[in-house]
Structure 1
């Protein structure tokens, strides 16, 4: 395990960057120490899991200030700085969950709070089901679950019910077929105004999203990894989520094209302690469009009184 210190976003505590081996390949993780300064084994960190079109940087808007608990930000195998040596042929939700918990074990953590965006929310729910005694809470930000899994099984059919996801999957398949040229092409498009138009369905107010954010999302695109995640979602057995015992906060934006209200309703029918929040004037990336509201909801989830509906 290699360790190095690096700068954090303005106003935030520094990050310790480490590389941890997993069954899916080397995994890059950043740890931000909590203000309590307790040793890992006695603390309960907040673990951030990004989506299939992201990396740890997706959560930068949530990292300001000194955290009360340690923050663990993982570039999942196949994304961000965890692409070299990633074993996508072995990818499944279960294998990815083992990779995450293996990282947390290596860091010395025995219990955790999970925050997952998009695919990361899907993954967080599985970890809560598979390790119920070690998961203190789950917060999902526009988790891509039932509807996306159904569209992934038949993207051509999914064009009618989930056009944004099905269209993105078909485009990613085309890019993945190009090999290393695929991500390079996405990055090249990301440097043009075209990418802003392509990403506009994912935001409630696309004009308010900076070109830097759009370019960052393009830089994080990993077509082969995206396709592997879609295949894993299509094969997943959602019945496993009936084992979840911790409090769950499930959020979506009212302009969300990936997470319909029906997904939250179906989740509430399977998991006993779900609180659902729909954020107004928000799309699929609430952590980018509404970071202050997201942070308040996360703080409420971990408070003794729980989440207040908004």
Structure 2
């Protein structure tokens, strides 16, 4: 286990960094300790297939009530070296999360997941109901993305921006290191803001650091593996979820349509669905105060 003290990229609390071995490879994790012990309970944050732990920086409290645990899932962020994600399933990714939390000594958790991380969080709630207290799923890429990944031609009608990104990532993955270098190069130019416009309601209002961060976090091979995993996932498992669930989407979300939230509500019994105005797929970046208030309300239920 590698332990390192570091400071968040933006002005904020100190974070402890650890690297924990899982079945899918080493997993880097940041921990913000609460001033007072709160048993073995933690708030856990799971990023999407176009992100890393930094996705959740806008939600980090100055003085948390519980320990905050932010993972770089195997294949993303600082968890790329030795990652075994080519055939990773949603179940395997959730298992890696549990391995990390067990190693850190947490037996219960509140989960917040964005995009793919929302799908993983919901699976954790279904597979470990006795340990999951709540789930905040922000723009979970579930039913619509799964169908579009299975049938891209049909997805061009229902989720064209997702299909376009998937095809682009497949092309970049085929180029190997050259593809990754190309994305990194474009990520430092104004063109990246234009390319990422489908992810936001108003790209012009998004801080430059967020745009550059998405360029740095792009992982074509891992993105394609995540799309395959979601395409093969059995969503019927979610009827085993017993904890309160909050499902959020942006009003201009190009990856998570309203029909996904409606279908999720038909499977999960204790759920609240919310559409947030003036944001797209990254409500955390565009409306962080709204997202934080909704997540706080969820944990008080």
Smaller-chain TM-score range? over 0.9
Residues paired across the two proteins, number: 301
- Secondary structure of the 1:72 match is strand
Asked whether 1:215 is paired with 2:212, we answer yes
SS of aligned partner of 2:22: coil
Q: What is the rounded CA distance, in whole Å, between the counterparts of 1:64 and 1:136 in structure 2?
A: 19
- Relative to the length of structure 1, the TM-score reads 0.95
- Look up the match of 1:14: 14
Cα-to-partner distance string for 1:95-137 (whole Å, 9 max, x where unaligned) = 0000000000000000000000000001100010000000000
RMSD of Structure 2 on Structure 1 (CA): 1.1
Secondary structure (helix, strand or coil) at the match of 1:89 reads: coil
1:273-310 Cα offsets, whole Å, 9 max, x none, are 0001111111110110011111111111111xx3xxxx
Unaligned residue ranges in structure 1 (runs of 5+): none
User: How far apart, in 2, do the equivalents of 1:134 and 1:159 lie?
Assistant: 39
Distance 2:189 2:199 in 1: 18
Q: Verify the 8 A CA contact 1:9 1:63 in the aligned structure 2.
A: no
State yes or no: 1:117 paired with 2:114: yes
- CA shift, 1:157, in A, is 2.3
CA offset at residue 201 of structure 1? 1.4
Q: How does 1:1-310 map to 2 (within 5 A)?
A: 1-10=1-10, 12-38=12-38, 42-303=39-300, 306=301
**Of 211-220 and 103-112, the range deviating more from structure 2:** 211-220
Give CA-to-partner distance per residue, 1:213-255, whole Å, 9 cap, x none: 1111011000000000000011111111111000000000101
SS of residue paired to 1:212: helix
Find runs of 4+ consecutive structure 1 residues off by over 2 angstroms: 8-13
Give structure 2 stretches of 5+ with no counterpart: none
TM-score (norm 2): 0.98
Q: Distance in 1 between matches of 2:40 and 2:284?
A: 24
Shift of 1:12: 3.1
Shift in Å at residue 211 of structure 1? 2.2
- Cα distance in structure 2, aligned partners of 1:183 and 1:35: 40
* Aligned residues of 1:10 and 1:64 also touching (Cα < 8 A): no
